[in-house]
Every structure is written in structure tokens, then in C-alpha cells.
Amino acid sequence: MDTILVVNAGSSSVKFQVFAAKHGGLGRQIKGQMDGIGSRPKLRAVAADGAVLVERAYPVADVPDVPAALHTAGAWLREEQRIDPAAVGHRVVHGGPDYDRPVVVDDEVLARLERYVPLAPLHQPHNLAPIRSIRARFPALPQVACFDTAFHRGHGPLADYYAIPRELHAEGVRRYGFHGLSYEYIAKRLPAVAPEVAAGRVIVAHLGSGASMCALKNGGSVESTMGFTALDGLPMGTRPGQIDPGVVLYLITNKGMTPAAVERLLYHECGLKGLSGISNDMRALEASEDERAAFAIDYFVYRIGLYAGLLAAALQGVDAFVFTAGIGENSARLRARVAETLGWLGAALDPAANAAHALRISRPESRVPIYVVPTDEELMIAQHTLTLLAGNAVQQRTRERV
């Protein structure tokens, strides 16, 4: 039975899942991660039924970086679980102007993707590290890059352009949008869980440590709160969201900050962490009695409400609102606050359904139904990997016949 390994690598963790390809579909076999890389390395994985397969700590010297973590997790999969993947699918945050769909990685693709590291410094270097590591150890193993920007590449020019000279747009300075794998999964899931709104005008709020919102129309993205980089739009755990570019100029010219220092500030010290001075974790903020924590939550909710209005304008109306991702799926309190800001659209929350984390959390009479739909970016990556490799196999057989 062919298996597909999905890898989602960050700066201090490597998440992975194993899917079995069978009967034209995919079945999840293993879900795990190696976290605490470089500090307290720990490997944990569970089976499809939730049973713990491994929970193991390692000396720091054994897992100092992402390639070492991938090697350790890979050795466990091969030697103890007898997993020999037919292919590996990766989440890559930025595909730039070159890639509007998943692609099999070769040296040329990898070199192109390296150019977008400055546009996603929190993610891109770590997304590419496992690809390089696997190519070095298993050069014949197919690897597929799946991009967070690809789902939004169908935006019209009015949503895609900045009001800057056109030659800059031609060079790739444009609004890309992110979290596309999550939004693509939601768009494909809605016909099954909410067929009455799936083909309509839907706002999806992907609320987690990284946060954005997307306007869907007939299952496609027409507008997103994020733009050229993953700094734009909603405030996030450590990123500010929308900010006047003049602030950046002020920090450089008046405060004497270097570009590297400004990058550090915008990616690591702002957002909920910067506003609260306490934490970038919504759970910690909700548990705190500090007024700064309350302000950070108020600000987050306020901005979600503002962008709901922007996306409603882009759609010329709203037929449904969907919460997804870590905060959106798990914080009933935050959902209730946001639903209150959507009252002008005709949204009416059902408190009992919200507390129970039901699929539909709005009252029957709500003009805009509200849903909670868990996302599954890893399954989306596995599906893209399977589809792309199957297509390549068909093309190869066709060439052989010719």
C-alpha cells in the first residue's frame, strides 16, 4: 500500500502525518511532531484512533536543528513503523508569482523558492529545510511543494494590485494572500457540511497564531486580508497585521532601527504579544485578569469585525460566516465576541450551540448562519501530492506508449 508523508516544518517543530492511499482515497495512519528543537526535543505521535505510538525525549545535542529533527522522526517512521513513503508533500508558505498550483520539487524549483525567503522569513526557510534534507538523503523520492498562496492566485486585478508603479507588480510585488491550503480545505468541505451556503458568499476566518480572513464566492477566493507578506491584515500572535508603511519609515529614519531590527520587531514582538505585554497565546490572555490582556482581545475582535465589513463589501453581501483554525475552532468565548460584532449583518449566535462547539452555532432565524469547520491542511497537502503524482504517472505511461 502506497503511503504519503506530509511535512509541515517550523522554526522549533516539525509536524508530520502519514496517509495511506487506498481505493482512490486517503486514510490517515499517523499524526506526530518533533517539538522543542534545539532546547527540549521531544517526539510524539499517535495512530488514527488516537493511541499513542511514541512519546520520547532526546538530548539537545542529538536534535539541534530542523534537519536533525526530520532525520530522527524519519528514522522512527522507517525503523519502528515500517513506513516507506512513495512521496512527501510539504507546506510551503510562499509560491511567489511563479507557482499557482502544487509542483514536484527539483533543483530549479528549490532555487526559485529560495528567492521568497525575505517575503516569509518566519516560515519559508523552515519549509524548505526538510525538502533539502530529504533530497540529500533520498534523491529519488518525489517531493511536492504545496503553497499557501496558490488558492488566492485567481484573484482579479483589482484585488491583486497595489497602487504602485506597474513594473513593481510585474516583478512580483502584489497581494498574494496566505493560509490558502486551509481555505481550500474549507471550500471543499462546505458542500458536505453546509450545502445550502457552499456555492454562495462566505467569509472564512482562519484564527490562530497566524490569522487571516478570506472571502469565498462559489468555492473560490476573491479577496483576502493578507497581501505581499504574512504581516498584513489581522493582528496575530506576534505580528501586527495592518500597519501604516510610514511607521516602518519612522522606525528606520527617526528611531535608527536597522531593517533587520524592524523585521524582528514586526515578526516577533507585535500582535497580541506586543499589545498585552503578556503572551501571544489566546488561552493565556483569556485566563488573565490583566487589563492589557483584555485590551489585546478587544483589539483582535474589533479588527475581525472591521475586516468582515471589508470582505462583505468585496462579496456584495454575505451568506455565511465560518470559524476555523486553533482559536476559531476552540475558543467559544472569542467566537461569541466576534458574532456580536456581526450583528449588523444579521448574525445571531446560539450560545448553547457555541458552548458545545457545534457545526452551526447560530440561531435558526439568523440571517447569516455561523459555522465552525475544523481545517485540515495536511489532508489537503496529501490530496494534492497524490493527484500530482498520479497525473505524472499517467503522462509517463503515455510517453512510453508513444
Beta bridge partners of 273: none
Question: Are residues 333 and 214 in contact, defined by beta-carbon separation less than 8 angstroms?
Answer: no
| 402 residues of the chain, pLDDT tens digit each | 589 999 988 767 788 999 998 776 899 999 999 888 888 899 999 999 999 999 999 998 888 888 888 889 989 999 999 999 999 999 999 999 989 999 999 999 999 999 999 888 888 998 998 899 899 989 999 999 999 999 999 999 999 999 999 999 998 999 999 999 999 999 999 999 999 999 999 999 999 989 999 999 999 999 999 999 999 999 999 999 999 999 999 999 999 999 999 999 999 999 999 999 999 999 999 999 999 999 999 999 999 999 999 999 999 999 999 999 999 999 999 999 999 999 999 999 999 999 999 999 999 999 999 999 999 999 999 999 999 887 665 344 434 443
Can you spell out the DSSP letters for 130-157?
A: HHHHHHHH-TTS-EEEEESSGGGTT--H
Can you spell out the DSSP letters for 156-213?
A: -HHHH--SS-HHHHHHT-S---S-HHHHHHHHHHHHHH-TTTTTSEEEEEEESSSEEE
| Nearest-angstrom CA–CA distance, 116 and 94 | 6
Helices 259-268 and 245-253 pack at an angle, to 10 degrees, of 130
Question: What is the torsional sign of CA 21, 23, 25, 26?
Answer: negative
What is the set of active-site residues? 148
Q: What is the pLDDT of residue 66?
A: 82
| C-alpha closest to that of 327 among 389, 241, 228, 237 | 237
* Grid coordinates of 162: 497595489
| C-alpha closest to that of 123 among 95, 162, 160 | 95
How confident is the model over 373-390, as pLDDT tens digits?
A: 999 999 999 999 999 887
In eight-state DSSP terms, residue 121 is: T
